[in-house]
A = this chain, B = another copy of it.
Amino acid sequence: MAGPLTGITVVDVTTNISGPSLTMILADLGAEIIKIERPDTGDDSRGMGPFWEGEGVYFLHINRNKNSIVIDLKQENGSKIVYDLVEKADVFVENFRYKKAEKMGLGYEKLKEVNPSLVYCSLSAYGQDGPLRERSGYDAIAQADSGIIGINGAEGSEIARVPVSVLDQGSAMWGAIGIISALLHKEKTGEGQLVTTSLYETGVFWVGYHMLSWLATGQEPKKNGAGHTAFAPYGAFYASDAPVMIGISNNSLFRRLCNVLGKEEWVTDPRYETNPKRVENRENLRVAIENILQSKPADEWVGLLAAAGVPSSKVKKISEVVEDEQAEAINMWKKVPHSSIKDFKLPRLPFELSNSSAEVKQAPPKLGENTKDILEKLGYDEAKIENLLKDKTIQNTEEKAESR
């Protein structure tokens, strides 16, 4: 099965996490990604540890299904190669700082001249306007600026970022939604357009519920630990050996929980009979639940709660997640041949299509692995390529994976 973006070519000058995460989504969906990297070092994430047989794991995670070409964009000849690539492409993605693309001759207005139906995406830290637009930014910074860090953790606990780069990964997804929507628009009308997104916008949108709560009540949201502002009981409750997460969002689930705990009388208890009342008496309810949970280990409770249809889970370690039966059963892991890593595998995207699959087919490229192939396909002849190699506008890699 071909992916839904088969036939789409993406010129990708992004580095680090957010931009490459975006083009990974397009790559898995079948687009051809021409990943332009700078000479010698390439994408910054190649140097981010820990390393797996010498390759940075972050780079490995988000650069599968891409082809790497090394071009020195500081040279005039370098920009010319990009124009040639863009002319035959559908999408261009950059995550430079504000106006840097323009300064390099790679701004939207310029590339639109080269290819009028181009879909051009700028993924920035703070957006294309406003007092912070020139700031560089990273996930944790935007988490602090958009209020996420301020409410993460238990009350009084040490400051903590969300540990999975949600704004890098989230802005990548919003960018992908924008680009695929723009491709649908292009399919219908022939028109290209500019797509803009940023880490900051993603963060601000994601705290939407908390912002509206503040507008509605005038009360500053507190750090809630494992709890939830809107529901009770909802959070971590300690069993005899380990904590169990339980989430109750309505009366029917509360009734089931009461049955498992042998506390049917709570269903009609005036302190607990509705969600707003349970929210009001949440601390009281938490203590009462924990008193009961202390009698058995976490696994036993999770089994009983699950059988009764009550949302619950042990708090799992990363190693437990990697080896989880559930992940195995839904084929989250895809084995990919890699030239130096034995038994290399990567998680697939978190959705599946019955008729035009997203796939993990090809390991992340070595730096400049596809330089020659890409330029040959573009119609550059041997002499032209040799000249570009000689004046160091481009770089090639001799080392190629046998298996690809």
Contact = CB atoms under 8 A, between A and B. Distances in A.
B214 A141 contact: no
Given A50-B229, A170-B170, A185-B355, 14 more contacts: A5-B181, A44-B249, A144-B236, A148-B164, A160-B224, A161-B224, A162-B166, A173-B174, A181-B358, A184-B184, A187-B187, A187-B188, A201-B330, A214-B319
Contacts of A226: 140, 149, 158-161
Interface string A391-402: 000000000000
Which 5 A/B pairs are nearest by Cβ-Cβ distance? A130-B329, A193-B355, A52-B216, A201-B350, A154-B158
B187 A326 contact: no
Interface string A165-176: 110011101111
**Which range contains the number of A residues in contact with the other chain?**
35 or more
A212 B152 contact: no
A68 B365 CA distance: 49
Interface in A298-332: 306, 309-322, 324-330, 332
A40 to B, nearest CB: 14
Interface in A74-112: none
Interface string A128-142: 111111011111111
A231 interface: yes
Number of identical protomers? 2
Given A185-B4, A351-B197, A177 B178 contact: no
Contact of A321 (B147, B193, B219): B147
Contacts of A236: 144, 149, 159
A146 B316 contact: yes
Interface in A276-315: 276, 279, 306, 309-315
A215 interface: yes
B166 A166 contact: yes
A191 interface: yes
Interface stretch (A56-64, A260-268, A367-375, A376-384): A56-64
